[in-house]
């Protein structure tokens, strides 16, 4: 299946947000940074909060890293999502 233009735009926006260093690839470290959440509301983010909030994303990262090179290109992200539709 093919993705709609809206789907491609949404995935591209997400990709560009997470790809903080602008290399054209998303790394596991960038996913952890993007997912930092103060889940207990104490004003600080602990390592356990980062790990817990990033866990689903890291699992998705593993599935979406189609060539298993420890980074995801926009092409891989689009290909993965097109095959999931």
User: How far is CA 63 from each of CA 17, 71, 79, rounded to the nearest angstrom?
Assistant: 19, 11, 12
pTM summary value? 0.57
Query: What confidence score (pLDDT) does residue 85 get?
Result: 61
Closest CA to 27 of 85, 77, 78, 72: 72
Q: What architecture is domain 5-84? A: Orthogonal Bundle (1.10)
Query: What confidence score (pLDDT) does residue 25 get?
Result: 93
Mean pLDDT value across residues 70-82: 89
Res. 1 pLDDT band, cuts 50 70 90: low
Cβ count within 10 A of residue 21: 11
Query: What confidence score (pLDDT) does residue 60 get?
Result: 80
The string of pLDDT tens digits covering residues 19-65 is 989 999 988 888 878 777 777 888 887 878 777 777 777 788 888 88
Separation of first and last alpha carbons in the chain: 6
Q: How far apart are CA 68 and CA 33, in angstroms?
A: 21
Q: How far apart are CA 64 and CA 61, in angstroms?
A: 5
């Amino acid at each position: 299946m093919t993705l709609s233009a809206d789907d491609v735009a949404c995935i591209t926006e997400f990709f560009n947000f997470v790809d903080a260093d602008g290399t054209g690839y998303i790394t596991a470290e960038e996913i952890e940074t993007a997912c930092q959440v103060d889940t207990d509301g104490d004003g600080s983010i602990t390592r356990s909060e980062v790990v817990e909030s990033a866990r689903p994303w890291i699992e998705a990262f593993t599935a979406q890293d189609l060539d298993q090179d420890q980074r995801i290109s926009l092409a891989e992200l689009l290909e993965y999502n097109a095959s999931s539709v």
